[in-house]
Structure 1
């Protein structure tokens, strides 16, 4: 138990301690106890005085600190009140409504403009109001304008969902067409700041501008619709008529004025159904079923006849808002023109058939006349050869009896002239046989060395007499040909080269060209101009510079006809001033070892040799295309004919089929070429075997085909060469399929 009450003040405790100390000192002085008890009491009193002094000092320091803290707290309270006053004054100067909620969603601060336009809510705003309570007050306010079908609870739920975002801006519509923009932000400490801005004037201005713009756009749209020669009507998602043009008013006999507004699709259809006759199985039931369809409607198109006179093409399509638009186009003139065109086509077809029959008769007459001419030439030539031979014999006998050099010279010239006449008659006889189809070809394997050897011995002296070098390079190849005609063709080509070459040399050689051998005759003559390259193969045509006694120009004509009859490709390359090259392409002779290479037999019975082949034929000449199609189909092929490049692409794209072989005309018209088409088809079909068909014999075309590994078939088309090419392709396809299997 303490002798000093700790609840006393410091001064009172000090007084008590001094009294205690004095009392103890007196007692010590009064007692004379030899045991030393008085001295012990004195020490205790001194210790107590020291403790009292220390406690007093501590209490004084504590009191000073307390007084200092109270002073600071008072300063802080003053500063807080000042800051709060400043904040209050600051938010009062803001033009927008301002409110601050703390992290616990309690209202802390707001200005007088906050919810000023919602008086019933402003009256209940107090510090500490929960945010949910604030939203509840707003949702129940009669000043709030809600959407149709929206309840206060729905609005409150939507508002609280927006409150979950850190930053959100939205508009709230009030009664009497007023608007508030609400901007809500999350503070760094988790509180919420709300700004309310009156945007009524802005909203009204935007709405007015939008209405003006919509009105202007509506006028432009209406003017555009009225400008169309089609009848157009527009229905909204409820199938109510919302727009139409003048042409539609004429088609549907719509009443003028506003009575048309609000007309339903069914009502409009009922008004005009009696005037319409639907075509091709379409009827008003299907149209109304389409309009009533709930899911996405697909566009539809059909035709109707109005009042049995006017034909209308109708097209209906859905719009993004689930409404739809229907257009009516008057196609009466087009249908009548198509009908008239069909009638005209029938008339023209009948005329073409009649004209074709007439031309057939005329062609038959021409063929009979040509055959008669050929027979006459053959007979006349044959009859002339006998007296000519007798005259030569008489000349030979007369030369043995004459001794005068001058007479012998004249006689020699006469014999030379008779020899020239004999050659001309023999050439005429050959041409007549070839033209009449009476030439008999004995096609068999022919050794080229057997042709080249005698020609080298025969023509080398002729070349040397002109100062030319003749080189004939031997070949071990054999080709399928007629030995006599092949020798004559080669002899004519070499003789012509020697005849027209003045200096330099003539070289003859053979190149292996796949399954063919190409006999080439090169010279260093004057060359042949582009315009003369077809002329040189015509009868009685000679190039400039030929000697008068060089014949009538029948050599190359015979070469061209004989090569055609044998199925050999004949080509010409030439450059003016450098020389020329005539080339003859013949199939390499088939042997037991060659059959494995798929080389066709020249004289084989083709039969169904093309069985199962799918051939794309692109040819813009209708008659030629028909003839080729019939010929190939007769041998078992399936032919896909097309008249143009685009038609060929569309056909392959439609059937999704890759043909086995492509036969492409080089000149397809409209600037298109078979080579361009081949490149396009390569991109879609891959490397399909192909042949180019053309009457163009230019070097550029040959080089272009060679670069693409294309077979070049010259017009007129030779059946044997075409079938040989197709059979080789078919056997390659069969071999490849067998390998793949």
Structure 2
């Protein structure tokens, strides 16, 4: 079932004037207010179940009518009435409009359609995340089996036949399987992040070594793209981090730069900035439009700029969430000379640095 969300001009504001006191006599109510009269009157002694925005039931003395009768000013607050005809959600505000505080004005705005649309959206997102989780788990096993089969097939190809047509097909198959495996892993990470289950195994680490390892792992891909990757690190950068996750951050940023950086050069620089380690991955591509520099980290969004125009955008989303889980931040800068620089800042503790330095 779908619900049409009302536009602002369709919203009708109910207004109720009440006397403050035990009787709480209503002296005026306009038409929109009368449509939701249960919010300020007891109808035939029947009191609907009322909850707040968090779903917590409100006792009779906590409800808008009772609070207005006591002369309280409050709101705007989101309140839901569970009536025989279904749930109704109102934004309620109460103000005292007389110097002697003997008159209260209740304003009521029916936002039920907005609320239902939001609930539908949340349910759809939850269903999507569950589907992605199940699909990713189900895909992992056949992909692993397929990759193992291709590896075995390679062993049967003689060294002389490595450059043959069959050898080339095996190379292509391996690359595509690894690409699919990476996508499946990204989907699993997204579901973990959304479920609040991105666990970190923090240990003393050298960020410079992590970056060099990640760059070396992508060396073949960089050569194939005709891109020169340079790592600039003057000294070890020690910190308490999850090494595998930080390597994933570097891998995703470098992969992103190789894909969208326009070829040529990529510089990875590391430096200490006070109590933080600064990691920057800079490409010389078309750059990122200023309006896209926040949205680029959102998953499942397509941007007008070159970045993420043909991508699910999971890699950068995962980068941001891993960095945030470490208490760090990531931003995009537009360096002189063009391109884009993805700048990560990770907190460094003196204790972690000392421990890592003492390790043999």
- TM-score with structure 2 setting the length: 0.58
Higher relative contact order (Cα pairs below 8 Å, separated by 6+ residues): 2
Q: 2:196 aligns with which of 422, 426, 437?
A: 437
The residue number in structure 2 matching 1:505 is 265
Instruction: Tell whether 2:141 aligns with 1:382.
Output: no
Separation in 2 of the partners of 1:338 and 1:441? Answer: 58
Q: Measured at CA, do residues 458 and 364 of structure 1 come closer, stay the same or move farther in structure 2, by a change above 3 Å? A: same
Instruction: Tell whether 2:145 aligns with 1:417.
Output: no
Instruction: Tell whether 2:104 aligns with 1:343.
Output: yes
Separation in 2 of the partners of 1:432 and 1:575? Answer: 34
Q: How does 1:48-197 map to 2 (within 5 A)?
A: none
User: Does the CA contact (< 8 Å) of 1:371 and 1:436 recur in 2?
Assistant: no
Q: In the TM superposition, what is the alpha-carbon distance from 1:480 to its structure 2 partner?
A: 3.1
Q: Measured at CA, do residues 522 and 363 of structure 1 come closer, stay the same or move farther in structure 2, by a change above 3 Å? A: same
Q: How does 1:592-607 map to 2 (within 5 A)?
A: none
Separation in 1 of the partners of 2:215 and 2:353? Answer: 31
Q: How does 1:36-51 map to 2 (within 5 A)?
A: none
Separation in 2 of the partners of 1:399 and 1:593? Answer: 44
Separation in 2 of the partners of 1:473 and 1:575? Answer: 16
The residue number in structure 2 matching 1:634 is none
Q: In the TM superposition, what is the alpha-carbon distance from 1:592 to its structure 2 partner?
A: 8.7
Q: In the TM superposition, what is the alpha-carbon distance from 1:516 to its structure 2 partner?
A: 1.6
User: Does the CA contact (< 8 Å) of 1:525 and 1:577 recur in 2?
Assistant: no
User: Does the CA contact (< 8 Å) of 1:508 and 1:519 recur in 2?
Assistant: yes
Instruction: Tell whether 2:338 aligns with 1:578.
Output: yes
Aligned residues: 253
The residue number in structure 2 matching 1:666 is none
User: Does the CA contact (< 8 Å) of 2:202 and 2:242 recur in 1?
Assistant: yes
Q: 2:289 aligns with which of 529, 539, 549?
A: 529
User: Does the CA contact (< 8 Å) of 2:332 and 2:342 recur in 1?
Assistant: yes
Separation in 2 of the partners of 1:384 and 1:461? Answer: 26
Q: In the TM superposition, what is the alpha-carbon distance from 1:501 to its structure 2 partner?
A: 2.6
Separation in 1 of the partners of 2:332 and 2:308? Answer: 22
The residue number in structure 2 matching 1:393 is 148
Q: 2:245 aligns with which of 459, 465, 485?
A: 485
Separation in 1 of the partners of 2:331 and 2:104? Answer: 48
Q: How does 1:361-376 map to 2 (within 5 A)?
A: 370-371=125-126, 373-376=128-131
The residue number in structure 1 matching 2:324 is 564
Query: What residue ranges of structure 1 are gaps of 5+ in the alignment?
Result: 1-334, 595-741
User: Does the CA contact (< 8 Å) of 2:288 and 2:307 recur in 1?
Assistant: no
Q: Which of the pair is proportionally richer in strand?
A: 2
Q: 2:218 aligns with which of 436, 448, 459?
A: 459
Q: In the TM superposition, what is the alpha-carbon distance from 1:440 to its structure 2 partner?
A: 0.9
Instruction: Tell whether 2:231 aligns with 1:472.
Output: yes
User: Does the CA contact (< 8 Å) of 1:529 and 1:574 recur in 2?
Assistant: no
Q: In the TM superposition, what is the alpha-carbon distance from 1:441 to its structure 2 partner?
A: 1.4
1:453 is paired with a residue of what secondary structure?
helix
Q: Measured at CA, do residues 342 and 372 of structure 1 come closer, stay the same or move farther in structure 2, by a change above 3 Å? A: farther
Deviation digits for residues 364-383 of structure 1, max 9, x if unmatched?
A: 88667645543442232111
Separation in 2 of the partners of 1:510 and 1:342? Answer: 65
1:567 is paired with a residue of what secondary structure?
coil
Larger radius of gyration: 1
User: Does the CA contact (< 8 Å) of 2:267 and 2:283 recur in 1?
Assistant: yes
Q: In the TM superposition, what is the alpha-carbon distance from 1:485 to its structure 2 partner?
A: 1.2
Q: Measured at CA, do residues 338 and 529 of structure 1 come closer, stay the same or move farther in structure 2, by a change above 3 Å? A: farther
Q: 2:278 aligns with which of 504, 518, 535?
A: 518
- TM-score with structure 1 setting the length: 0.30
Q: How does 1:638-657 map to 2 (within 5 A)?
A: none
Separation in 1 of the partners of 2:204 and 2:328? Answer: 14
2:269 is paired with a residue of what secondary structure?
strand
Q: In the TM superposition, what is the alpha-carbon distance from 1:386 to its structure 2 partner?
A: 0.2
Deviation digits for residues 87-125 of structure 1, max 9, x if unmatched?
A: xxxxxxxxxxxxxxxxxxxxxxxxxxxxxxxxxxxxxxx
Deviation digits for residues 475-508 of structure 1, max 9, x if unmatched?
A: 3222232222111112211222233233542222
Q: In the TM superposition, what is the alpha-carbon distance from 1:451 to its structure 2 partner?
A: 0.8
Separation in 2 of the partners of 1:590 and 1:341? Answer: 62
Q: How does 1:236-275 map to 2 (within 5 A)?
A: none
Q: In the TM superposition, what is the alpha-carbon distance from 1:463 to its structure 2 partner?
A: 3.0
Query: What residue ranges of structure 2 are gaps of 5+ in the alignment?
Result: 1-95, 355-360
1:473 is paired with a residue of what secondary structure?
strand
